[in-house]
């Protein structure tokens, strides 16, 4: 299935393809503050509809995850990184997707503070 997503103001917009069978809630220092619910997909399944430079990046700790956000409205619609096998991945914030009924998506909790 294809989903349309964006930040609040639309300066960062994208489409993502895949089966949204669940999301992850992390309690690390940034995810807890942002309140994101992440859906992990191969990076090639995330297609930007706006220029890549429309999204700013924030990294911290080991600087391996690019937390992408809109510099205009401040929303964090997705992040980019690499999985343990070396594959490029995207962590899509399902709260930024259109037409998703959040209460119907199973959420797994991840203890990111323990890393």
Task: Note down pLDDT in tens along the chain; length 115 residues.
Answer: 999 999 999 999 999 999 999 999 999 999 999 999 999 999 999 999 999 999 999 998 888 899 999 999 999 999 999 999 999 999 999 999 999 999 999 999 999 888 8
pTM: 0.94
**How many CB atoms are located within 10 Å of the residue 41 CB?**
18
Cα(3)–Cα(83) distance, integer angstroms: 22
- Domain residue spans of the chain: 2-110
Q: Cα(109)–Cα(56) distance, rounded to whole angstroms? A: 27
Give the architecture-level CATH label for domain 2-110: Beta Complex (2.170)
């Amino acid at each position: 299935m294809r989903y349309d997503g964006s930040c609040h103001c639309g300066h960062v917009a994208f489409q993502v393809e895949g089966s949204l069978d669940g999301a992850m809630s992390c309690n690390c220092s940034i995810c807890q503050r942002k309140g994101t619910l992440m859906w992990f997909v191969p990076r090639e399944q995330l297609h930007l509809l706006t220029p890549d430079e429309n999204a700013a990046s924030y990294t911290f700790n080991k600087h391996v995850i690019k937390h992408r956000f809109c510099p205009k409205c401040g929303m964090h619609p997705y992040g980019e990184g690499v999985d343990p096998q070396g594959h490029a991945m995207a962590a899509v914030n399902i709260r930024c997707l259109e037409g998703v009924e959040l209460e119907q998506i199973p959420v797994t909790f991840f203890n990111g503070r323990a890393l």
